Structure 1
Amino acid sequence: MTSSMPATKRTGLLTLALAVAVANVSILQTLVVPVLSMIAQQLDTSLSAVGWALTANLLAAAVLTPLLGRLGDVYGKRPVMIAILVTVLIGTVIALTTTSLPLLIVARVLQGSSYGLFPLAMSVLREQLPPARLTMSMAVVSATLGGGGVVGLLGTGLLTRGGGDYHRPFWLGLVITVLALILCWFALPHHVRDKQASTSVDWLGAGILGVGLVLLLLPISQGADWGWGSPQTIGCFIASAVVLVGWILAERRIKQPLAKPSLLARRAVMLPNLGGLFVGFGMFCAFLTITNFAETPDKLAGYGFGASVLSASAIYMLPGGVLGVVLAPLIGRFVQRAGGNQALLVGAGLGLVGFLGMVGWHDEPWEFIVFGTFAQLAVSFGFATLPALLVAAVDPADTGVANSVNSIARSVGSAISSALIVALLESNINPLTGFPKEATYRIIMILGAAAFAAIAVIGTIGIITGNRDRRPDPKAAEEQAQAYAGEFAEVSGVR
């Protein structure tokens, strides 16, 4: 970044770098989904074994995200984000070159560290941007989470068209990771760390939280194979509850905790986290419903459109993904002017229209595309709105951890949604066609609508109780933004 670069260009470059980095999170998450059966076939293993390529990625994300957020607070956002991208790059190279399932799972664990980029990106934006630009930039960066997933699906469809090697989609991940690394290297500012700031990292708290989250997510992702009533499934859920309660008790006794229990219990923080849970649930309801339904051959099942992986991504998913990214600045303006909870209500309304519309009208492709786009836009609204609500609820020093917990909530919601949908589809196979019954998809669509109905309730509660929640002083926020800008100017040689 040169000293002569205007502030608006620096802001634009920073937002672009963070958007590409965050998009890479969802690209890496989704690009393996369409090729799981291909991986199982080419590695000569079972589909349930290959499923660990998804499970390991999710577990790594749950364990690493809060710890990486804290490391960013202690050592600076730039070095931690660069280290994450280098780790993801190593994992992607391993995934590209290995023919071993254990090594592929290791690669997916390394790629799981990418989930820490989103909360760190939100913290960087809050530190570097004035309040007038903050909400819009957060909306743009957040929207790339949904758009990145569509890019991952579309890229996988293109790279595996007509069969081929399962390694090909990872080339897309490699290119985006390298691009994000280059952009972040030049765009992320160097911070002069405050010598009076705490340098302690709550490793014990991070370990306990990681164990609790693994015990929670593991049975959610493997419950269909283990059996939902099996001893290991029930035992993991019970153990998770015990460990997480123990984590809360331990955090209350630690001087510099990983996450303050009092912060997480604050209504203005708890509501966005509940919203994140339901947004994650609704996102996978939309993603799995649209792709699986569109790919179902209508001549055999009596419903669906017989789309390929490529056409399901390009025709049925891409419009909603692109529209969400394009409208992100407008969503940001709406959040800034109307308020986060009001925007959450609008997004919930779009989700209800989308999912209930798909319940009633899914015989023609255009109907499914239109209502599916509404559902995807609802997810974009959620991604764009939740960080703004958290920024309004916490002090700057707590931005990273608050967004980290919100990311975990979305991951838990996504895991619950995917596990539930897979269980519903597998348990309701029509013996005459070999495909899930059409009514099963209606149930999934209704579940998606229920998730956004819950988001509407959360937004309403936020509106009613918002005036009683503590909000940061706008003048103090402006002064802090100016202080960060001055610090950046000194480090970058502007003055």
Structure 2
Amino acid sequence: MSGPAGPGLATRTVVPGLWAVVGFLVVVEIASGVLQGYYTPIFTDIAEHLGISEGDVNWFEAAQLMLSALAVPLLARLGDLWGHRNVLLVSTAATAVGSWILVFSPNFTTFLIGWAVQGAYVVWLPLEVAIIHRRTAGTPDQNRLTRRAAAMLVAALEAGVIVGALTSGALVEATSMEVLLALPAIAVTICFVVIWFGIERAPGVATGGYDYGGLGLLTVALGLVMAGLVLVRLEGVGSPWPWLAVLAGAAATVALVRFEKDQDEPLVDVRLLAARAQWPVQLTAFLFGMSVLGAQIPLSTFARADPDQVGYGLGASAAFVSTLVGVYVVSMLLGALLLPAAARALGPRGALVGGMLLVSLGYGLFLPFHDSTAQVLSNMGVAGIGSGLLVAALPAAAAAAAPADRTGFATGMTNATKTVGGAIASAVFAIALTATGSLDEPGVGTASLGGYLTVWAVCSASALVGALALAAVRTDPASTAHAQVGAAS
């Protein structure tokens, strides 16, 4: 695969057609970024269009997170069985259907269904990393090429977020809501065509059937936990019902682990997840999700708070909040592009540790420094660089620490655990921020500064725990022999 090297020159692996494949996947990730950035500036307009309160928009996020947590392991396993390209097509078709439902939704219920179905896009990046990892199989530079390609894909994702946010913000006053909502649906439909013609067909490498029992137990476990988190928001922390639901979910999780250990081809490969090279990566993804997914709304509401009225905040306009988001996304883009250099300098595990430490530092800086725009921008920039490193590095590290027939599962689980971490953090932060008011009902009350300090402390502490867990495990998750998976059995 590699050409001859001259004296003293390192040999570089050449994989014919690899970067053409990456180029097609970059288009998909730009569309993914558009989906993630497009709707944020226009949520108020969407609420007005549907005739609902702004607080009801939170149900869209809850529904999509629940579907994402269920869909990722399901589609990742199917990717290993049917072929990652085939399942990427299926998930893109589902995302397109959900996006078009949003265009023609006459009411809250149908829009909620469309928004949940659209969440199938969360499996795109893990499947793409699995495609690249398989495409480079048998080459000595497989892990390096996978990390490099993952960095490019995340860079495209973040660029798409910026493009999406700027586009919707510029067009919202110039066109109808139906036309505005049709643009991302068109983009996803184009992605389906790009994948169909641009990515070669490849069969799955896993054997065995599908674990329907595991799927049922996983659905029950996640459903109960997510229901408990929703009930915390609806009934309050003092109600016993949320905690009973969470406890029931925990019991279902124990049952799931025991059931999956006895399966030859489990949906959730708990033995792989327990492998010494794999569990630190998945734990890091869970803890990282607490900040990258859970802290978005608190950062926005803090920036909008008027310091003359509540004693904290920046008093920023909605337009300026978009600027803050842009700075954060650009810093994430920079972090993703730095991954190859960081991995060369620090090693794959060192790059993960460095990313978590930057996230911990960035949110930790909020505790003493949050009184000015410059301070907030600096803090978000530090956390953003670390987040970009992690978004790119986690799927690649998971793939490198998994057998060839389980790369789709391993990379997909980084998104699943990240989503669960974000959902749990979102509920915790809602409790912290509603001590003296309600974020879900504007005008009812105002969160305390102590609530925001709690949010930042949790984000900083969770990232630090992830860094320590990675550092404590001597085995490098990106270079471990796959034989260790068997040792965990």
Correspondence for 2:449 among 435, 438, 442: 438
**By how many angstroms is 1:355 displaced?**
1.7
| Paired residues for 1:78-93 under 5 Å | 78-93=85-100
1:254 aligns with 2:263: yes
Aligned to 1:482: none
In structure 1, stretches of 5+ residues that fail to align are 1-6, 474-495
Aligned to 1:389: 397
CA–CA separation in structure 1 for the residues paired with 2:214 and 2:462: 31
Aligned to 1:244: 253
Aligned to 2:72: 65
Q: 1:335 to 1:296 in 2, by over 3 A?
A: same
Q: Is the 8 A contact 1:278 1:413 kept in 2?
A: yes
Q: In terms of mean alpha carbon deviation, does 138-147 or 406-415 score higher?
A: 138-147
Equivalent residue letter for 1:294: A
1:271 aligns with 2:280: yes
CA–CA separation in structure 2 for the residues paired with 1:154 and 1:175: 17
Q: Is the 8 A contact 1:320 1:372 kept in 2?
A: yes
| Paired residues for 1:468-483 under 5 Å | 470-472=480-482
Query: Alpha-carbon deviations, 1:158-203, whole Å to 9, x = none?
Result: 34469x8665663452243134323322321111556xx5252222
Correspondence for 1:365 among 373, 376, 396: 373
In structure 2, stretches of 5+ residues that fail to align are 1-13, 484-489
Q: Size of the alignment, in residue pairs?
A: 462
Query: Alpha-carbon deviations, 1:286-320, whole Å to 9, x = none?
Result: 5234322222234433433333333212x212123
Aligned to 2:382: 374
CA–CA separation in structure 2 for the residues paired with 1:233 and 1:166: 37
Q: In terms of mean alpha carbon deviation, does 379-388 or 48-57 score higher?
A: 48-57
Aligned to 1:324: 332
1:122 aligns with 2:122: no
Aligned to 1:77: 84
**By how many angstroms is 1:343 displaced?**
0.9
Equivalent residue letter for 1:426: T
Q: In terms of mean alpha carbon deviation, does 265-274 or 228-237 score higher?
A: 228-237
**By how many angstroms is 1:237 displaced?**
0.9
CA–CA separation in structure 1 for the residues paired with 2:344 and 2:223: 36
1:399 aligns with 2:411: no
Aligned to 1:227: 236
Q: In terms of mean alpha carbon deviation, does 146-155 or 372-381 score higher?
A: 146-155
Q: Is the 8 A contact 1:26 1:145 kept in 2?
A: yes
**By how many angstroms is 1:37 displaced?**
4.8
Q: Is the 8 A contact 2:338 2:389 kept in 1?
A: no
**By how many angstroms is 1:31 displaced?**
4.6
Q: 1:217 to 1:145 in 2, by over 3 A?
A: farther
Q: 1:418 to 1:24 in 2, by over 3 A?
A: farther
Q: In terms of mean alpha carbon deviation, does 443-452 or 34-43 score higher?
A: 34-43
What root-mean-square deviation, in Å, do the aligned CA atoms of Structure 1 and Structure 2 show? 3.1
Query: Alpha-carbon deviations, 1:380-399, whole Å to 9, x = none?
Result: 12112222321232112111
Q: Is the 8 A contact 1:126 1:134 kept in 2?
A: yes
**By how many angstroms is 1:153 displaced?**
4.4
User: Which is richer in helix?
Assistant: 1
**By how many angstroms is 1:136 displaced?**
1.0
Query: What is the percentage of aligned positions where both structures have the same residue?
Result: 24
Query: Alpha-carbon deviations, 1:435-479, whole Å to 9, x = none?
Result: 3333332222222211221122122113x3449994249xxxxxx
Q: Is the 8 A contact 1:156 1:310 kept in 2?
A: no
Query: Alpha-carbon deviations, 1:334-387, whole Å to 9, x = none?
Result: 224532221122212322332232322233322221221111111112112222
Aligned to 2:460: 449
CA–CA separation in structure 2 for the residues paired with 1:21 and 1:432: 40
CA–CA separation in structure 2 for the residues paired with 1:30 and 1:222: 28
Aligned to 1:282: 291
Q: Is the 8 A contact 1:64 1:210 kept in 2?
A: no
Q: Is the 8 A contact 1:340 1:388 kept in 2?
A: no
Q: Is the 8 A contact 1:94 1:103 kept in 2?
A: yes
Q: In terms of mean alpha carbon deviation, does 285-294 or 365-374 score higher?
A: 285-294
Aligned to 2:11: none
Equivalent residue letter for 1:122: V
Query: Alpha-carbon deviations, 1:416-438, whole Å to 9, x = none?
Result: 22222233222234999953333
Q: 1:24 to 1:214 in 2, by over 3 A?
A: farther
Correspondence for 1:200 among 188, 191, 209: 209
Aligned to 2:188: 177
Aligned to 1:158: 170
Q: In terms of mean alpha carbon deviation, does 328-337 or 340-349 score higher?
A: 328-337
CA–CA separation in structure 2 for the residues paired with 1:451 and 1:31: 29
Q: Is the 8 A contact 1:36 1:51 kept in 2?
A: no
